Amino acid sequence: MNRLKLTLQTVALIFLFGAFSINAFAKMQVVKLVTEYHVNPIGIDVQKPRLGWQLLSDEENVMQTAYEIRVAGSITGLSKKSKQIWNSGKTESDKSVNVAYEGAAIKSMQRVYWQVRVWDNKTGKASRWSEPAFWETGILEPRLWTAEWITLPKEKVTKGSKPAQYFRKQFSTSKKIKSARLYATSLGLYFAYINGEKMSDQLFTPGWTSYNKRLQYQVYDVTSMLKKENVLGAIVGDGWYHGNIGFGGQHAYYGDKTALLMQLKIDYVDGSTETVVTDKNWKGSTGPILESDIYNGEVYDARLENEGWNKPDFNNDNWEKVKTLNHSKQLLVASMGDKVKAIEQIKPIKQITTPKGEMVFDMGQNMVGWVRVKLKGEKGDVVKIKFAEVLDREGNFYTANLRSAKATETYTFKDNKEVVFEPHFTFHGFRFVLFEGLKKAPNLDDVTGVVIHSDMKPTGTFSCSEPLINQLQHNIQWGQKGNFLDVPTDCPQRDERLGWTGDAQVFSMTAAYNFDVAAFYTKWVKDIVVDQLPNGKIPHVIPDVLNGAGGATGWADVVAIIPWSVYRVYGDKRILETSYPAITKWVGYMANRAGNDYLWTGDPHFGDWLAFASTRSDYQGATTDKDLIATAYFYYTTTLASKIAAIIGKQQDAIKYNELAKKVKDAFVDEFVTSNGRLVSNTQTAYALALAFGLLPDNLVEKAAKYFTDDVTKFKHLTTGFLGTPLLCKTLSAVGRDDLAFMLLNRKEYPSWLYPVTQGATTIWERWDGQKPDGTFQAVGMNSFNHYAYGAIGEWLYSYVAGINIDVETPGYKHILLSPHSGGGLDSVSATFKSMYGEIKSAWKIDKNGEFIYTVEVPANTTATVTLPGAYVGSLDINSEKISDGLKSKATQNDNNLTLKIGSGRYQFKYPFEVR
């Protein structure tokens, strides 16, 4: 008994001290390890990937002082010096984001594991090692691709959509498998299968790139999917490669034939390797997918199904031997963007019978994807499923704004059994779904909206005391989800859906508040760079399917603006380095077009696209001179080139571009600005550009600001288009007119951000009056109801109203600027942002006693500067206590604002406040 008692006491002590030890370490944890913005990526081709991690601590003012990274070929090897591939050693640094691997080159198709531990400013001791993470390389050398491109032998070159191709290969494995990887891509879109199971939940593979210059492949871990007898199968549809894309019925822009490339590498426990590749020994056929077009939809005839075609016991005697296709493998690159997936599902809110007798379902949300539906009919019956964003004034199904896009699924029954149908290689932008050919409407539960987009992780939330603004934020986020499908498209529904560069650049900062777009933009910027023309011109759309049309001011500047946004938000210096040659080529193009007078004049541009136009007799519309806009952007992008050059260590270039920018600025002032600060285009956009870009001399800023604010006061509404709108409220705030900025935000009549909300919008519209108050629509030629550009107001909501901002001197939110602003009748605002270091919170409210209560959270390994409006040291409480002497010493009083320097932690500031 005594021995048992002693044993129990020992166990208790071990448990106690073990718990104490764990708790001691719990004060500092290293978590959320990422490699090139991904968690445990498989199949990357970055030779020196960047690593990142976050610190978790229950203490305040925590900073990392050093780190140590170790890398090995196995988890067990991490703790053995002799097995490590690289060890950084204890490195004195507070850097925990984008830390480059500096070890020996990793071979193709190799997995390596890594861990990190850190030291902090509190204990000076090392943390526990993090949980292991890994990355795995893809096929880094083209010569290692032994697979051949395959296609069907009798495939006809057609102008329209053609049947999807089905491919299969049966093979055996006889030994115990250690690991297996499938490397796959296609000319067109593909789904891959092993033994009847879909390889992954990824959609629209291999993604959309400039296929004639960069073609992505995917890597799948299929170790657990293999058996003794196996079938590797795939379906290939038209997609962007061979389907309709661009304008004027343009088809097969990249090539006449669809094809498949697959390479399965099997590593056995005994050390041997086997490879199964696409070659002439595969079998192929067509099947039930008769047409699969992104614009027009899918035609599916279930009578042509080959049941079990992707399983081992299928008889493929009637299938043809495939033909190999001579297509380059030098263009193959690993996929590093965010995967397109089915992210969520929504149910219809009601079923409608329209005045025309149409069977329509209302999904309650303008969404992008398709519907999955239970259907029942007789053999040979045909059902059509059509998609629309809106109903017309009479309540009927409306598709005129889709232009030539059919946006229709056609399904033919093979028997009278109930089926569940969803398409394969198409997507639609819609809220309303129409069924034709059914004798009875499906139940609401039988229809499911499948929402698809790139799997960007949500990072931002914004809410306030005004429900209409909350709906606006909802619309902004849904507009982004609907249009960020591997590339940032302008719209998701009509016969366009292209990567318009102007839309993307004006929205880039709002996008980065809402979602983690680091990997998404990194992938897309690579296509901007490769699609740049030899003379420096940037195409209007990326990937370029408009045959090189480009060079438009405010659009082509995307080549500098999005890398700059990624640098600011994520501290990513490498994207500046890789984009820099293209940025300077674009600046060179603008300089050549401008000539010796430094004014870019005479070229065609889109200008301030879709700016407000009025029928009022005293106002002919807000047309801003395109030469003024072009010269303004010439200056702005040249200043970015100078800043970027300095950041990446090209000091002489920095000086050169700074001098060029000064000359452009002088020319701009001489040409477009009077001595009284009035611009030749007396529009809100002209003033917003000149003031926001810093184009005016100091002595004219105040005068120009008055012309600007007078115009807003005169019309009491915005008059801006795609280029002016993103700058409007932030520029009004910068010149001290928050009252006007909030007035514009709160306006509910056309034109305004809230007008579409009052009309029931659930996404951002392309036009300020896409739907007019009387229920009629704008011109059908250009009237998308899901077009994110005007949603760029989101940046001002996050950065100014909520007050979460970036210190560009320490990018990536390493040092955070927290500066909330009240106004517009709002009495509360709350925003969060998940930075690379952790979550930032900024929430303020004005209570019934007239006190301003501001709550902030600052993640570990960062610092912040907090600016409190209307605060004074003597009246300030922090965390329910008077301000400490330590914080007082860090406080700065500036007019009626109080500025404080703080470290990581959670703070609540409270003080009497006078509503302005």
Residues annotated catalytic, as ranges: 496, 766
Residues 6+ apart with CB under 8 A from 748: 468, 754, 755, 757, 758
Q: What is the DSSP letter of 78?
A: G
Best CA proximity match to 359, nearest among 426, 438, 431, 304: 438
Cβ-Cβ contacts under 8 Å for 602 (sequence gap 6 or more): 627
Contact assessment for residue 148 and residue 278, using Cβ atoms and an 8 Å cutoff: yes
The tokens describing 308, both together, are: 């079990």
Cα 622 to its chain centre, rounded Å, is: 31
Measuring CA to CA, how many Å separate 303 from each of 380, 412, 416, 437, 669? 8, 7, 12, 17, 70
Phi, psi of 706 (to 5 degrees): -70, -40
90 is written with which tokens?
A: 């204890």
One-letter amino acid at 725 equals T
Q: Which amino acid, residue 337?
A: G
Alpha carbon separation from 725 to 92, 115, 673 (Å, rounded) = 45, 45, 21
177 bridge partner residues: 268
For 908, other C-beta atoms within 10 Å of its C-beta total: 13
Q: 527: which 2 tokens?
A: 């296509």
594: CB partners within 8 A, 6+ apart = 600, 601, 631, 634, 664
169 token code pair = 């290969």
Looking up tokens 């930032």, which residue turns up? 840
Give the largest CA-CA distance in the chain: 103
Distance CA 887, CA 507 (A): 37
Helix (H) / strand (E) element for 367: namely strand 359-375
User: Position of tokens 């406040």?
Assistant: 913
Q: Which pair of structure tokens corresponds to residue 658? A: 């700074």
The answer to whether 545 touches 245, Cβ cutoff 8 Å, is yes
DSSP state of 451: E
**Alpha carbons 562 and 577: distance in angstroms, whole number:** 13
Q: Which helix (H) or strand (E) holds 381?
A: none
Task: Please list, in sequence order, all residues whose beta carbon lies within 8 angstroms of the beta carbon of residue 522, skipping any fewer than 6 positions away.
Answer: 37, 336, 337, 566, 572, 575
